A and B are shown apart, each in its own frame.
Chain A
Amino acid sequence: MTAPALPATTVAGLARGLAAGRWSSVELTQAYLARVTASQSELNAFVTVTAEAALAAAAAADAARAAGKASALTGVPIAHKDIFCTRDVLTTCGSKMLANFVSPYDATVVSKLAAAGTVNLGKLNMDEFAMGSSNETSFFGPVRNPWDIKRVPGGSSGGSAAAVAARIAPAATATDTGGSIRQPAALCGVTGIKPTYGRVSRYGMIAFASSLDQAGLITVSAEDAAMLLGAMSGFDPRDSTSVDREVPDYVAALDAPLAGLKIGLVREFFEKGLDAQCEQRIREAIAVYEKLGASVREVSCPNLPLSVPTYYVVAPAECSSNLARFDGVRFGHRCESPRNLNDLYSRSRGEGFGAEVKRRIMTGTYVLSAGYYDAYYIKAQRVRQLISADFARAFESVDLLLGPTSPTTAFEIGAKVDDPITMYLNDIYTIGANLAGLPGMSIPVGFADGLPVGLQLVGPHFSEARMLNAAHRYQLETDWHLRVPAAYA
C-alpha cells in the first residue's frame, strides 16, 4: 500500500506538534483517514470510518486550541474498538447480531476521551463479541497482521493492534477478558495495557464475561498509554463495578528510576510450550531490566497452569448469561417470519451469532445447568480463588511479575480456526491476570523470524503507574516499540 507519510507516530509526539503549532488536528486527521482508507483492503482493521464526524471534531479541537482551551490530548486522533457504544454510530461488536445497531448513547470511555479532546477516526474490527484470539471470528472478516498479512493480528482486539502497528491510528481503545489487549499487542509489536478490574468504566462496553472484562488501550508507547489512561480512568456511577479511587498522574510517574524494583519471573510461564526464540527475547529484556537496577528473582504460582480450564468454565458461563439479552425483540438481528416467540428467539440467535459465540454460549449453558453447576462452575470459582491467592503470595516478595505475553509469534490465518482448544491456549499466560483482576501490560521486546515478540508485566491491583513506569524505562533503552512494518513506514 502507499499511504501519506506522518509527521510523528506517537500520541506524545503528535500532541507536542499540536501544542507547538507545527500541524493542526485537521491536518493530522486527514493524514490518518487517508492511511485508514489506503490500508483497509489489505488489513480490514476498521468496521466503520467516521470521517465526517472526525473532521468536524478535529476542526473543533483546532478552534479550542486557538481559543487557548487545549489540554494535552486536544486534537489527537484515536479509534475505538467496536465494542464501545458510540452515539449515532454503528456499533457491531464484530457480530451479525449487531450489524444494524446504531448506538443511542456513548460508552463512558468514548465520552471521557472525547471530553479530553481526542478525535475518533472510527470503529475497529474485533473478534465477534470479543470471543477469539485471532480476529478470525469477526462477522466482518479477519483483520490481517501488518507485519505479515498472511498472519493473524491476535484477538480479540485485533483491529486495535493492527491499526496501531500500521500507524493508521495513533492509539486505540481495546478490551481484555482473557488477554484480548495483551496478546494482539504482542503479536503486532505494540504496547497494550489492561488496567485493574474496575479502574476504567465499562458503561456502554458490550459485556462478554462481567467478572473479567476490562477496558484498556493499545498504543505505540507506554508514555502514550499513560496519557490516555489518565483521561479514560475514574469512578463512574453508571458502572456498579467501577472503583471509587483517585486516578494517579500516570505521566508524572513515568520517569521514576527502577533501582530497587523487585521483578518476579513466574516459573510456570517458562516451563513448557514457550517458543525458544520468544524465550530468548524475554531473557534479553530481563537483562535490560537488570541493567536498569531492577532485581530479578524466580517466583512460583503453582495453580497458574489451571487458569485456561478455569477461564473456559467461568467466561462461557458469564457469556451465556450476558448474551441472553440478544433476543431479536428490542434491538439486533431478527429472523424472517417467526412462527412463534420461541422460534423468534431461537432463529434470531441461531442466525445472528457466529460459530464460536454459539460454542461459548452452549458451553456456558451446560456448565450452569442443573446437575453440572457444582462440578464445573463452583469448582472453577474455587480454583480461581487458588490462582488469585498465588498472585497475592507472589506480590508479598516482588513488585511486578514478568514473563512472555504469548507462547508464539503470530500464526497463519486459518491455522488454528478448527481447533478451539489450541486456539484457547494462546491466552495461557494472560488469563491469570483477568481471573485475579490484576493489571497487565504487553510491550514489544524484539522479533523472532521477523515477527514481533511481546513481554508481559503483571502488577498488584492498582499498580498501573508502576507498570507504565517500568515499561517506559525499558522503552527509553530500546526502540522495538518504534519499529514499523516496512509496508506502512
Chain B
Amino acid sequence: MSLTRKDIENIARLARLELAETEIPVYVDSLSKILDFVGELERAPTDGITPMAHPMPGLAQRLRADEVTETDAHQRYQRNAPQVEAGLYLVPKVIE
C-alpha cells in the first residue's frame, strides 16, 4: 500500500491535525509501511468468523438507575479550560 502526499493531507484533515510541511513525507513513508504490515491480515481465512469488538464474551452493557448521582462541579472543571466567560467555554466565532 503506497500512500501519497494527498492521502496524508486528507487523513490529517479528517483527524483535525495540522501537520508541518516537514512532517508530511515522514507520514507518507511510515503510514505506507504500517498499512503494508497490517495488510498481512488479508491472508488470514476469516469467512464466517464473527468480528470481536470486546474481549469479554457475554459481558452486557450495564444500565444504571435513572437517578441524580452527580452534583454541579463546572467551576472546578473549568479551571482547566483555556478560555471561559460567565461559566461558558469560549471558542472563535462559528457563525459569521
Contacts and interface: CB of A to CB of B under 8 A. Distances in A.
B50 A382 contact: yes
Interface in B3-27: 8, 11-20, 23, 26-27
B33 A420 contact: yes
B8 A362 contact: yes
Contacts of A329: 81-82, 89, 91
B49 A349 contact: no
Interface in A87-137: 100-102, 104
A288 interface: no
B37 A342 contact: no
B44 to A, nearest CB: 5
Contact of B55 (A212, A343, A359): A212
B94 interface: yes
B86 interface: no
Interface in A286-312: 303, 306, 308-310, 312
* Most interface-central of A328, A353, A361, A362 (chain B CB within 10 A): A362
Contacts of A376: 38, 41
B61 A340 contact: no
A366 interface: yes
A385 B50 contact: yes
A303 B45 CA distance: 10
A342 B16 contact: yes
Interface in A361-408: 361-363, 365-367, 369, 375-376, 378-386, 388
A133 B84 CA distance: 38
B42 A379 contact: yes
Interface residues of A, number: 72
A308 B83 CA distance: 41
B13 to A, nearest CB: 8
A88 to B, nearest CB: 10
A436 B55 contact: yes
B54 A211 contact: yes
Interface in A304-353: 306, 308-310, 312-313, 320, 324, 327-332, 334, 338-347, 349-351, 353
Interface in B61-96: 61-62, 64, 73, 76-83, 89, 91-94
Contact of A339 (B8, B14, B80, B92): B92
A243 interface: yes
Given A102-B80, A383-B44, A362 B11 contact: yes
B7 to A, nearest CB: 8
B2 interface: no
* Most interface-central of A104, A435, A461 (chain B CB within 10 A): A104
Contacts of A334: 82-83
A419 to B, nearest CB: 9
A240 interface: yes
Interface in A207-262: 211-212, 237, 240-241, 243
Nearest to A387: B52
Contacts of A365: 11, 14-15
A95 to B, nearest CB: 14
B41 A313 contact: yes
Nearest to A240: B62
Given A320-B15, A329-B82, A344 B35 contact: no
B53 A381 contact: yes
Given A211-B54, A339-B92, A435-B55, A328 B82 contact: yes
A330 B14 contact: no
Contacts of A358: 17, 19, 23, 27
Contact of B56 (A346, A361, A375, A461): A461
Contacts of A104: 73, 76-77, 79-80
A198 interface: yes
Nearest to B96: A340
Nearest to B82: A334
A8 interface: no
Contacts of B18: 343, 346-347, 349-351
21 contacts: A102-B79, A104-B77, A197-B55, A309-B40, A329-B91, A338-B92, A344-B92, A346-B16, A349-B18, A350-B20, A359-B34, A361-B15, A362-B8, A362-B17, A375-B42, A379-B42, A379-B44, A386-B44, A421-B33, A424-B37, A436-B55
Interface of A: 100-102, 104, 197-198, 211-212, 237, 240-241, 243, 303, 306, 308-310, 312-313, 320, 324, 327-332, 334, 338-347, 349-351, 353, 355, 358-359, 361-363, 365-367, 369, 375-376, 378-386, 388, 420-421, 424, 434-437, 461
Interface of B: 8, 11-20, 23, 26-27, 30-31, 33-35, 37-42, 44, 46, 49-56, 59, 61-62, 64, 73, 76-83, 89, 91-94
